[in-house]
Structure 1
Amino acid sequence: MKYFSTNNPEIRCSFKEAVIKGLAPDSGLFFPVSIPNLGAEFFKRLPELSMAEIGFEVAKHFVGDDISDSELKKIAEEVFNFPIPVVPIEKGVSTLELFHGPTCAFKDVGARFMSRCLGAFAKKDQEEVSILVATSGDTGSAVANGFLGVEGVKVIILYPAGKVSQIQEQQLTTMGQNITALEVDGTFDDCQAMVKMAFGDDDLNAKLNLTSANSINIARLLPQSFYYFYAWAQLQPSNKKVVFSVPSGNYGNLTGGLLAKQMGLPIDSFIASANRNKIVPDYLDTGKYEPKASVQTISNAMDVGAPSNFARMMELYHKNHAEISKDIKGAWFSDQETEEAIADVYNRTAYILDPHGAVGYLGLKKYLNTQTEIGVFLETAHPAKFKDTVEKVLSSEIKIPDYLKECLGKDKKSTFISSDFSDFKRFLLQK
């Protein structure tokens, strides 16, 4: 499998090169030259396969010869070793719980897969890699955990000061070892822009072997397609159409689902569920893509005003607004609506939504026809990661998983920097 740049289809590289580079030389995102169709026999076997088996079967089409089948199987078994259940909530509506990994967020899947791939490449090449990652919440902690102690890999995480939850910040800043946290005086979009500028900086690239662990990296994105196969299999047998509602910020998770559909998975449609940062829902309504400065909400991991993976969504649909609108509907909701959904679902079902899952739930309820469709919304993080928000809404205490409790007891270690790229560059060169 070869990969090209979303800015230049003439650029070609291998999976290994795409993973190590992270971003194409022209600042485009890497994307597979072709999307494999996995065939009817594979889908017939899906309900019998484990998540690790599905991950291996799908990944091998994208990895090619860069990782042997035996090593790829081992990676899949190590990465996909926690439950990813479809949990019924009410008639016709279920949630895909993606928070049972080590950092209690869906990004554990992609971050752990990427860490194993990069670790294998670094070991083989004996060359140190520096990973730059911008986070609006959960990406940083998942990446930090996934890469903690991996030889030959250093991780620098940028996060917006005062715009992540306390538990998220503790996860980002208490790892130590090969993990460094930078607290940026700005927004997530500032953090993401600084990372992209670093990849285009000749001085930095001459001295450092840089790559990214955001969903701009293809090894982070691809595994986010795997659990759609696993979720669909858990819903079988059924004669109803399957609809997924995806709480969306940088749109890696939705792009993963669209990839799964392109590979032949019989998903009928998707709902791009957003908070007030509604750039993609607006595009779906109007056909105009207009990035804006992000605004802060209680579903902070979705506070993105210029979603990177929009470029990959455009590639999948050849920039055809009419075609993409057939498969994706857009919806957005305020903080008040999000809080009301958390309270309503808890009062009726005793199920606790996190603020991101609540947005996904609302999007699903807006469009779902329970007579002909089964709906699944993604619950992307454990509600305890947003303890203050959720407890305020429910007026009751949430049990905190042991891993998160452990983080709260550690000392925060971070470096405060401005959102000026020159400060970031100076830090990297000194580091």
Structure 2
Amino acid sequence: MKYYSTNKEAFIVSLQEAVVKGLAPDRGLYMPERIARLPQKFFDGMMDLSLQGISKTVAEAFFGEDIPKEKLDAIVGDTLSFEIPLKKVEDGIYVLELFHGPTFAFKDVGARFMARMLSHFVKEKQEEVNVLVATSGDTGSAVANGFLGVEGIRVFVLYPSGKVSDMQEAQFTTLGQNIVALEVDGTFDDCQALVKSAFMDDELNKRIKLTSANSINVARFLPQSFYYFWAYAQLVRQTQFTKMVISVPSGNLGNLTAGLFAKRMGLPVDRFIAANNRNDVFREYLQTGQYNPRASVQTIANAMDVGAPSNFDRILDLYGHSHKAITNDISSFRYSDEEISTAIKNVYIESGYLLDPHGACAYLALKEGKRSDETAIFLATAHPAKFKETVEASTGAPIQVPDALAAYMQHKKQSIPLPNDFDLFKKKLIGRS
């Protein structure tokens, strides 16, 4: 399958080129030339399939023309070596727990898949690749751990100093080996801008091979569609329903975009809700039709602290730039830190279920936006223990931190301070590549 740029000013490329380049030369994001609609027999037989079985079918629809089935199945199986359970929280509302992977966050799916796919392509071409990733929290840890020790690949993680939790920071600053953590004096948007500028710098790209592991990379965001199909399969097993709505914590919009791709492939989801914290650029677009990116503000749901979401361009392209078509499928709500904290407390008291700040935001959006005839799923994108201080302050009760997560805090931090300056960032890349 071929991939085109959302800006329509770059050459159409192969999957391998799209993955290795990450960002198109015209600054657009790569999109597959077509989205295959899965046959009805797949949905009819889904109840008898495992997470890996469902995901292998979806992966083949995207990547089967470019990677041999045996290799692609191995990539999927190796990626999804953990559970993604759907649990009932209250009548009509279910949670999809996406935090059972190695770094306890939903990005383990996309990051592990991309690491294995990129490794496959790198081995074929026998070249070294430098992976750039900007993170507001969980992306950095998922990518760093997914690529840790992979031969021929060096990873540079850029993160905003003082704006990620201690647990998140420990997961990508203590690894060493082929992982370099750059602590940027700025916001997530500054980190993302540095990464995009690197791809546009001709001199830099002539000297070293660069790719991105943010959700701008097709190998990162497309695999996130797997678990939307798995959520549906589990819901069918657990209850009878007529309409399904899914609430997604939304920052850079990669997770939501993956869900929209799943819908386009035939997943019987009626609509989506984009849950925003105070960084609600996307909600404002849905309400007004005007997109006005701005500097992000810091919140307790820090992975959603994005003021210029990259995947907005993919959503526009997917819907032919039709605001009406987009709002037919997506609504959105915004919540403050205080509202998110209160939701964590109330759900814990009423049902015993413990939410992280991002899942709490998605839960609130369901409570406000769910219709009476809908059965609802919200995504819990990170383990509550990754936000220990916030969650404990909300509930007034201590959290048990999983041993594998606590182990990260025992290692020495290895980060490099970096001003928000592209020239210095460029020198760092050249000097360490």
Q: TM-score, normalised by structure 2?
A: 0.98
What is the aligned partner in structure 2 of residue 359 from structure 1? 361
Following the alignment from structure 1 to structure 2, what is the Cα–Cα distance between the partners of residues 47 and 12? 37
Which ranges of 4 or more aligned residues in structure 1 deviate by more than 6 Å? Answer: none
1:12 has 2:12 as partner: yes
Q: What are structure 1's unaligned runs of at least 5 residues?
A: none
8 Å Cα contact 1:15-1:62 kept in structure 2? no
Q: What are structure 2's unaligned runs of at least 5 residues?
A: none
Following the alignment from structure 1 to structure 2, what is the Cα–Cα distance between the partners of residues 25 and 59? 26
SS at match of 1:8: coil
What is the aligned partner in structure 2 of residue 34 from structure 1? 34
What's the CA shift for 1:365? 0.6
Matches within 5 A, 1:269-348: 269-348=271-350
Q: Among 258, 263, 266, which residue is 1:264 paired with?
A: 266
Matches within 5 A, 1:87-236: 87-236=87-236
What is the aligned partner in structure 1 of residue 44 from structure 2? 44
1:366-411 superposed Cα distances (whole Å, 9 cap, x missing partner):
1112x41110000000000000111111111101111211101100
What is the aligned partner in structure 2 of residue 350 from structure 1? 352
Deviates most, 343-352 or 5-14:
5-14
8 Å Cα contact 1:15-1:64 kept in structure 2? no
Following the alignment from structure 1 to structure 2, what is the Cα–Cα distance between the partners of residues 177 and 46? 41
Matches within 5 A, 1:397-416: 397-416=398-417
Following the alignment from structure 2 to structure 1, what is the Cα–Cα distance between the partners of residues 134 and 46? 35
8 Å Cα contact 1:173-1:412 kept in structure 2? yes
8 Å Cα contact 2:241-2:375 kept in structure 1? no
1:217-271 superposed Cα distances (whole Å, 9 cap, x missing partner):
0000101111000000111153320100000000000000000000011100000
What's the CA shift for 1:82? 0.5
Following the alignment from structure 2 to structure 1, what is the Cα–Cα distance between the partners of residues 170 and 414? 9
8 Å Cα contact 1:53-1:76 kept in structure 2? no
What's the CA shift for 1:51? 1.3
Following the alignment from structure 1 to structure 2, what is the Cα–Cα distance between the partners of residues 269 and 11? 33
What is the letter of the counterpart of residue 301 of structure 2? S
Coordinate RMSD, CA, aligned = 0.9
8 Å Cα contact 1:23-1:29 kept in structure 2? yes
SS at match of 1:87: strand
1:30-51 superposed Cα distances (whole Å, 9 cap, x missing partner):
0011111002111111121111
What's the CA shift for 1:10? 6.0
Following the alignment from structure 1 to structure 2, what is the Cα–Cα distance between the partners of residues 180 and 401? 25
Following the alignment from structure 1 to structure 2, what is the Cα–Cα distance between the partners of residues 18 and 62? 13
Matches within 5 A, 1:383-394: 383-394=384-395
What is the letter of the counterpart of residue 422 of structure 1? D
